[in-house]
Amino acid sequence: MTASARTLPRLPAWLSHFLLRPGNWLPATVWLFLVIFQGVKVYEEPWVSTIGLLLINAVAMVLFVTRRDASRVGNIWEGLIAVSGTFFISLLLIVSNDEETTLGRDAPALPTIIQCVGIVGWAFSLAALGRSLGIAPADRGLVRHGPYHFIRHPIYAFEALFFIGWLMNVHTASAALIVAIWAALQIARIMREERILGGYEEYRHTVRWRVLPGVW
């Protein structure tokens, strides 16, 4: 070994660990572009919906970097459903420029409050999920604390609440269609996720409801 080779600087341990886990940094990179896109929308239309999505996805981007490895993953079709459900809803940012849309300071109080509740619950659910975060169905450990103690899929529940508030502002047929397709994809996603997670049968008996107590 030459002297020059011996004096080459070593990468920090955290950076080496990060680079060796493409399953983490690749989705985080994709999320970075999503955050940038949403940041542009916040600049153009600074209201609860756009700011909320920007903050939530910025947090998700960080969680992707630190998430734990999966002990079991779903198939490619389950992954496609999950990716579609995640990114399809971003089309709302485009149709929100419709002339019928009520944005910013003109937005009514009730849908704004609904969206704020959705964002807060969504953020708490993400924090509880932590390093188990993923897009495609995968087993990174079953989470039972926080909002997961009351319903089995709180992130989807608060997402739905947030987008209900959005629809109350963006009252167009195209926005309603986007949310309807998103909801169908999320239902399929939920059903597939439940088949992947280890220990889910016991959890299902402990926490009865998936998204909305008393309904489903």
* Nearest-angstrom CA–CA distance, 170 and 201: 39
Residue 29, in any domain of the structure = no
Residue 168, in any domain of the structure = yes
Ramachandran area for residue 133 (φ above 0: left; ψ -120 to 50: alpha; else beta) = beta
Torsion angle of C-alpha atoms 205, 191, 52, 106, degrees rounded to 10:
-100
* Nearest-angstrom CA–CA distance, 69 and 32: 21
Residue 213, in any domain of the structure = no
pLDDT at 100 (0 to 100): 47
The β-bridge partners of 138 are 73
Residue 187, in any domain of the structure = yes
Number of CB atoms found within 10 A of residue 116's CB = 14
pLDDT at 6 (0 to 100): 55
What CA–CA distances, in Å, run from 165 to 47, 109, 170, 187? 12, 10, 9, 19
pLDDT at 131 (0 to 100): 81
pLDDT at 12 (0 to 100): 58
pLDDT at 99 (0 to 100): 46
Instruction: Count how many domains the chain has.
Output: 1
Residue 190, in any domain of the structure = yes
138 φ/ψ angles, rounded to the nearest 5 degrees: -160, 155
- Chunked mean pLDDT (size 10), the chain, 216 residues: 54 53 66 81 77 83 77 81 83 67 63 90 91 81 91 94 88 89 92 86 92 89
Residue 21, in any domain of the structure = no
Residue 5, in any domain of the structure = no
pLDDT at 14 (0 to 100): 47
Q: Which domain holds residue 92?
A: 71-206
Residue 13, in any domain of the structure = no
